[in-house]
């Protein structure tokens, strides 16, 4: 015990030298006094360490939560992104297939997620025909998702025809913007997990 | 004939008030044509529109004004209205004419064939029609009218006008009818002469594709909601409405009543596509499916007046075209011929009340135009050519068609007489869509 307290004495001496605290004036003939003092210092150091670690853990947890929230929001955004169509067509465009694949993957990773696909048309053509066209566009996206393994009961389909244009006007740009499917999360959209 | 009328009227104009000129239909028609620049199918033939004079008299000017407009809009007459104080009411006349109070000679000199008297008679109006060739009255009736401030006043006068038309032509006029249409996403109703425009659905809801029941008591329409689209049945008198059972899911639009009023055909759209269904009204079980589209859409049904066949739109050949089938869905065949790859998309068919014609619109150089399909002769005739013209609906006389045209820069309801090609506008303050013409309202 006495021999092993040598490093302790040295440590205490070192601590006393760089701790900034004046060493006690009285001589230290006994080992117990420096041990008690060193324990007090060690305790406060440990406490400081623990507090710092807790703070670091909390910050890390907060950051992780913020990251997860941002990721979930990003995932929700990917689910809700629109796809567009050519005039009088309901075929899924080549470029949009990857977009739908991603939606299918996110739905696969989140079994509670439900969506409603709404199909839209530009203002040209018969008002009633555009309801059928919008319906076809929504149905095409649903069929694609089902083909990627999404259960049909999780996907609702509705047509708004030309009744809810995104852009007003009679320009080609407005027409192109309005020929679209929109995806609305109707359930299970909180805390989305990314697909693996 | 026309020149004599114009000459005589010009002479009167020097002494008569301005109202005479404004009310002369010949001028109104010419102005309309100059503005429209539409290609007229057929020309104005005075011989097919006998001249009719409305004899001036005391009181009831509002009745005379409504009747005059109704007869003008029937496109069956060339209507002349004379103001008070013209020689026609001069007391210096010979025997029979003085007794009748009618100056047959003067009216004949205007080229008129008929004279219509409208005079107050107790609580009503006595209408007496005179034949000018034989210089004698040929028909009359006393109509009891509600007070002019009463809600039913105008429609009662319209019924009187329609009866006068029937006396001359054998077919009642179309004045006592209304049109339903959509404006600003709301369902509206308006009298056939443009008066009394009334919203039937509240702001904040979206209504589309209205249709009248044959008895004029119900309007069916599609209510577009958040994620759903039921068919609504609205009572035209009370305004109360309820959804058609079975249309709670999917999109359900373009309703069409069967001629006996017992069934409602409509388009149902869901993830399987769009197909035509028919529901028995008054609770009769599930709706019956008439078309099985698989990869094609079938929509926009319209019944033949004998209820045996339905014309509809199908995309089974690619772009939408007009087909027909039996009312039970069998015997489906192409109805209106087209050149594959050349003919534009066709939509919005409506069968005429006499069964002879199906009106529809078809794109020509990218713009929809109104077409008529002669069912018996299997011939297609283009009715409009300027602007975008779509969604035709027949008046109960089987000769007038209302449709939407944007030729003035804004979508408006226009009415064309398919026999003389004369057009008039039914003014609505906003962009009008999807008109539906009622039958004659009792």
- Residue A41 is predicted with a pLDDT of 82
Indicate whether A188 pLDDT > 70. Answer: yes
Chosen for mutation from B250, B268, B269 (greatest number of chain A CBs closer than 10 Å) is B269
Per-residue three-class SS string for chain B: CHHHHHHHHHHHHHHCCCHHHHCCHHHHHHHHHHHHCCCCCCCCCHHHCCEEEEECCCCCHHHHHHHHHHHHHCCCCEEEECCCCCHHHCCCCCHHHHHHCCCHHHHHHCCEEEEEEEEEECCEEEEEEEECCCCEEEEEEEEECCCCCCCCHHHHHHHHHHHHHHHHHCCCCCCCCEEEEEECCEEEEEECCCCCCEECCCCCCEEEEEEECCCCCEEEEEEECCCCECEEEEECCCCCEEECCCCCCCEEEEEEECCCCCEEEEEEEECCEEEEEEEECCCCCCCEECCCCCCCCEEEEEECCCCCEEEEEECCCCCCEEEEEECCCCCCEECCCCCCCCCCCEEEEEECCCCCEEEEEEEECCEEEEEEEECCCCEEEECCCCCCEEEEEECCCCCEEEEEECCCCCCEEEEEECCCCCEEEECCCCCEEEEEECCCCC
Residue B70's contacts (CB-CB under 8 Å, 6 or more residues apart) are B157, B158, B161, B162, B173, B175, B193
Same domain, A122 and A134: yes
pLDDT of residue A67: 87
Residues A59 and A132 in one domain: no
Does residue A20 register a pLDDT over 80?
A: no
Q: Give the H or E element holding residue A99.
A: helix A94-109
Q: Does an H or E element contain A116, and which? A: strand A114-120
ipTM > 0.95?
no
The answer to whether the CB atoms of A129 and B313 lie below 8 A apart is: yes
A136 and A157 in a single domain? The answer is yes
Same domain for A72 and A18, yes or no, is: yes
Query: Which structural domain range is residue A39 located in?
Result: 1-22+30-78
- Using a CB–CB cutoff of 8 Å, tell me whether A106 touches chain B: no
Cβ pair B297:A132 closer than 8 A: yes
Residue A71 lies in a domain: yes
Evaluate whether residue A113 is within a structural domain: yes
Per-residue model confidence as pLDDT tens digits over B354-407:
999 999 999 999 999 999 999 999 999 999 999 999 999 999 999 999 999 999
Contact (Cβ atoms closer than 8 angstroms) between residue A116 and residue B227: yes
Which residues in chain B are closer than 8 Å to A186, comparing Cβ atoms?
227
Determine the pLDDT at residue B102: 82
Pair (A43, A138) in one structural domain:
no
Is A99 inside a domain boundary?
yes
The answer to whether the CB atoms of A88 and B345 lie below 8 A apart is yes
End-of-domain residue from the set A44, A78, A112: A78
Give the one of A116, A118, A126 whose C-beta lies nearest to B347's C-beta. A126
pLDDT at residue A91, rounded to an integer: 96
Q: Does B177 touch chain A (CB under 8 A)?
A: no
- Same domain for A159 and A63: no
The nearest CA of chain A is from the CA of B404 a distance in Å of 11
The answer to whether position A194 is within a domain reads no
Same-domain check for residues A90 and A39: no
pLDDT at B21: 33
The domain total for chain A is 2
Q: Does the distance separating the beta carbons of B209 and A126 come in below 8 Å?
A: no
> Residues A71, A101: one domain?
no
| Across A92-111, average pLDDT | 96
Q: Which of A118, A127, A143 sits opposite B434 (nearest CB)?
A: A127
| Residue A127 lies inside a defined structural domain of this protein | yes
- When pLDDT is cut at 50, 70 and 90, the band that residue A1 belongs to is very low
User: Cβ contact (<8 Å) for B251 and A131?
Assistant: yes
Better pLDDT: B16 or A23: A23
Contact B348 A160 (CB under 8 A): no
Q: Tens digit of pLDDT for each residue in A45-76?
A: 888 999 999 999 999 999 988 888 888 899 99
Looking at the fold, whether A7 and A39 belong to one and the same domain comes out as yes
Candidates A118, A123, A126, partner chain B, best to mutate (most B CBs within 10 A): A126
The rounded distance, in Å, linking the Cα atoms of B225 and A114 is 19
Q: Which residue has the higher pLDDT, A142 or B420?
A: A142
Best probe of the B interface among A114, A124, A131, by most B CBs < 10 A, is A131
Kindly list the averaged pLDDT for each block of 10 residues, start to end, along chain B of length 442: 48 41 33 36 50 86 93 93 56 49 84 92 90 92 92 95 94 96 96 94 95 97 89 94 91 96 96 95 84 90 98 96 97 95 95 97 96 96 95 97 93 94 86 95 86
A195 within domain boundaries? no
pTM for the predicted model, two decimal places = 0.82
Pairwise CB contact (< 8 Å): B267 & A131: yes
Backbone angles phi, psi at B56, to 5 degrees: -70, 160
Is B274 within 8 Å of chain A by CB? yes
Residue A63 domain-assigned (yes or no): yes
Q: Which domains does chain B have, with CATH numbers?
A: 2-169 (3.40.50.10070), 178-437 (2.120.10.30)
- Do A86 and A183 share a domain, yes or no? yes
A41 and A126 assigned to the same domain? no
* A192 within domain boundaries: no
Q: In CATH, what number is assigned to the domain containing residue A90?
A: 3.30.1330.60
CB of A187 within 8 Å of a chain B CB? The answer is: no
Q: Do B271 and A152 touch (CB under 8 A)?
A: yes
Q: Does B316 touch chain A (CB under 8 A)?
A: no
Do A3 and A42 have their domain in common? yes
Contact list, B313 vs chain A (CB under 8 Å):
129
């Amino acid at each position: 015990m006495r021999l092993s307290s040598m490093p302790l004495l040295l440590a205490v001496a070192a601590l006393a030298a760089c701790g900034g605290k004046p060493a006690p004036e009285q001589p230290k003939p006994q080992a117990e006094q420096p041990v008690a003092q060193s324990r007090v210092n060690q305790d406060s150091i440990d406490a400081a360490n623990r507090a710092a670690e807790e703070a670091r853990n909390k910050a890390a947890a907060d950051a992780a939560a913020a990251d997860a929230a941002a990721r979930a929001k990003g995932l929700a955004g990917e689910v809700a992104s629109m796809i567009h169509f050519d005039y009088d067509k309901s075929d899924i465009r080549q470029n949009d297939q990857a977009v739908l694949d991603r939606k299918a993957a996110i739905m696969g990773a989140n079994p509670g997620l439900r969506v409603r696909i709404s199909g839209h048309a530009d203002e040209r053509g018969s008002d009633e025909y555009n309801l059928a066209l919008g319906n076809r566009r929504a149905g095409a996206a649903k069929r694609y998702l089902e083909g990627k393994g999404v259960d049909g009961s999780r996907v609702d389909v509705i047509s708004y025809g030309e009744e809810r244009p995104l852009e007003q006007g009679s320009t080609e740009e407005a027409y192109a913007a309005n020929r679209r499917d929109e995806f609305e999360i109707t359930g299970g959209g909180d805390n989305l997990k990314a697909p693996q | 004939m026309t020149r004599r009328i114009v000459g005589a009227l010009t002479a009167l104009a020097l002494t008569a008030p301005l109202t005479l000129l404004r009310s002369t239909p010949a001028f109104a028609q010419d102005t309309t044509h100059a503005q429209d620049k539409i290609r007229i199918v057929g020309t104005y033939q005075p011989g097919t529109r006998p001249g009719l004079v409305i004899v001036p008299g005391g009181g009831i000017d509002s009745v005379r004004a409504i009747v005059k407009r109704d007869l003008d809009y029937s496109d069956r007459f060339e209507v002349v209205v004379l103001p008070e104080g013209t020689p026609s009411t001069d007391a210096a006349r010979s025997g029979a004419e003085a007794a009748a109070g009618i100056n047959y000679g003067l009216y004949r000199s205007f080229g008129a064939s008929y004279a219509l008297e409208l005079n107050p008679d107790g609580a009503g109006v006595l209408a007496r029609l005179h034949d000018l060739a034989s210089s004698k009255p040929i028909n009359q009736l006393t109509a009891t009218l509600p007070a002019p401030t009463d809600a039913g006043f105008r429609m009662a006068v319209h019924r009187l006008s329609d009866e006068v038309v029937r006396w001359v032509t054998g077919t009642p006029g179309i004045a006592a009818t209304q049109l339903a249409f959509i404006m600003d996403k709301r369902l509206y109703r308006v009298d056939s002469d443009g008066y009394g425009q009334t919203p039937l659905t509240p702001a904040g809801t979206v209504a589309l594709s209205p249709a009248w029941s044959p008895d004029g008591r119900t309007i069916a329409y599609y209510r577009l909601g958040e994620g759903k689209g039921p068919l609504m049945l609205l009572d035209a008198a009370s305004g109360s409405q309820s959804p058609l059972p079975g249309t709670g899911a999917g999109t359900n639009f373009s309703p069409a009543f069967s001629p006996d009023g017992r069934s409602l055909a409509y388009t149902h759209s869901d993830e399987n596509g769009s197909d035509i269904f028919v529901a028995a009204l008054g609770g009769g079980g599930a709706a019956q499916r008439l078309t099985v589209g698989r990869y094609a859409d079938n929509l926009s049904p319209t019944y033949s007046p004998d209820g045996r066949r339905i014309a509809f739109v199908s995309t089974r050949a690619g772009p939408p075209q007009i087909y027909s089938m039996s009312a039970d869905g069998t015997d489906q065949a192409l109805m209106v011929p087209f050149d594959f790859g050349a003919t534009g998309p066709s939509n919005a068919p409506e069968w005429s009340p006499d069964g002879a014609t199906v009106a529809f619109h078809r794109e020509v150089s990218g713009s929809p135009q109104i077409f008529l399909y002669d069912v018996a002769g299997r011939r297609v005739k283009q009715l409009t050519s300027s602007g975008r013209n779509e969604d035709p609906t027949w008046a109960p006389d089987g000769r007038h068609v209302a449709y939407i045209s944007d030729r003035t820069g804004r979508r408006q309801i226009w009415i064309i007489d398919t026999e003389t090609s004369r057009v008039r506008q039914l003014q609505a303050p906003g962009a009008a869509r999807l008109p539906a013409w009622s039958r004659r309202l009792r």
